[in-house]
Amino acid sequence: MIKIDLNEISAVVNPKAELEKLKVVGNPKVPKAVDKIVEDDIKAQKAIVDLYEKGFDEYYIIRLLSAGLLGINKKLVPTRWSITAVEDTIGEYLKREVVNYKPINSCEVYRAEFLGNIYTILMIPSAYAFELLEVWLPKSLFGFSGVLRDYEFFKKKGYANETLGAYYSARLSVLEFLRKRKRQAKVVVFREVTEDYYAPIGSWQIRVGVRRALKNKVGTFDDLNSALSFLKDILRHRLEDYLRRDVVLKVRSIDSYF
């Protein structure tokens, strides 16, 4: 019986079949840095960060963790868990650096569409905070969802139980962007899933989509009200609905009182 499991985290898996014959034709080439970390008895979180800082991307690290090659008590890890674990670990590591930078100077809006997903990103001069507001629009794969929301200030508030793995994928791309700029900001990502997203292909597309959006600044504003007015015109879903569920924008930073 053919069974298709559609979810937001794991990519679509090809049809399965029984293996009849396997022939090893050569030994894989393993980078020395990877070989050393795999052989050492260090915690998985440190191994993930060390590999990331050595230039290995999250895709490669996810495969290592999933294959049970990282950590002290090494064991196979389901791909879905590996993706979230790697993205969350790297994100928390980057956050500790980003919060030491100065805030950006003005409100900024970024936007891009990628594989049926529209990513609109609002950045506000403030201490770091992050929020993902997500809507599956009418006629999208899973139907209209209403506004899904997860957020954090400096301290993470447990697992993202509404937007799930999408939260960690989007946050990672944002934190990489802020680290590269050596700035911090209050960031709200609006993810609008359209009818063109007809089959989930994994959380990688969220990382890539947000990165693409962050290369396309569509507006700079002196105040938040002007930025929100602009967002009202470009978002597919009603801004008022987003704001009713928002938490991060409602909280004023200490800086705003001076």
Residues 138 and 231 in one domain: yes
Residue 22 lies in a domain: no
Do both 142 and 231 map to the same domain? yes
Average pLDDT score over residue span 40-48: 91
Check residue 255 and give its pLDDT: 47
Domain of 107, CATH number, reads 3.30.230
In which element (H, E) is residue 147 found? strand 147-152
Helices of type H across the chain: 32-39, 44-53, 58-66, 79-98, 165-181, 204-213, 224-234, 239-245
Residue 82 belongs to some domain of the structure: no
Examine the domain organization and report whether 135 and 70 are in the same domain.
no
| 106 and 69 co-located in one domain | no
- Name the strand (E) or helix (H) holding 117: strand 117-124
- The domain tally of the chain equals 2
Choice between 33 and 163, residue whose per-residue pLDDT is larger:
163
Question: How close are the terminal C-alpha atoms of the chain, in Å?
Answer: 65
Tell me the per-residue pLDDT of 182-221, one tens digit each, with 9 for 90 and over.
999 999 999 999 999 988 888 899 999 999 999 999 999 9
Residues 72 and 182 in one domain: no
pLDDT (average), residues 217-233? 97
Q: Is the pTM of this model over 0.85?
A: yes
Average pLDDT, the chain: 89
Is the four-CA dihedral 102, 93, 59, 167 of positive or negative sign?
negative
pLDDT at 241 over 80: yes
Q: What pLDDT sits at residue 105? A: 96
Token digits for 169?
């994928």
Question: What per-residue confidence (pLDDT) applies to 23?
Answer: 81
Q: Residue 53 sits in which domain range?
A: 32-77
| 145 lies in the same domain as 242 | yes
| Residue-wise pLDDT tens digits, 2-27 | 455 555 555 555 566 788 887 877 77
Residue 26 in any domain: the answer is no
CA 10 → CA 4, 7, 26, 82, 108, distances in Å? Answer: 12, 6, 29, 10, 32
220 and 121 assigned to the same domain = yes
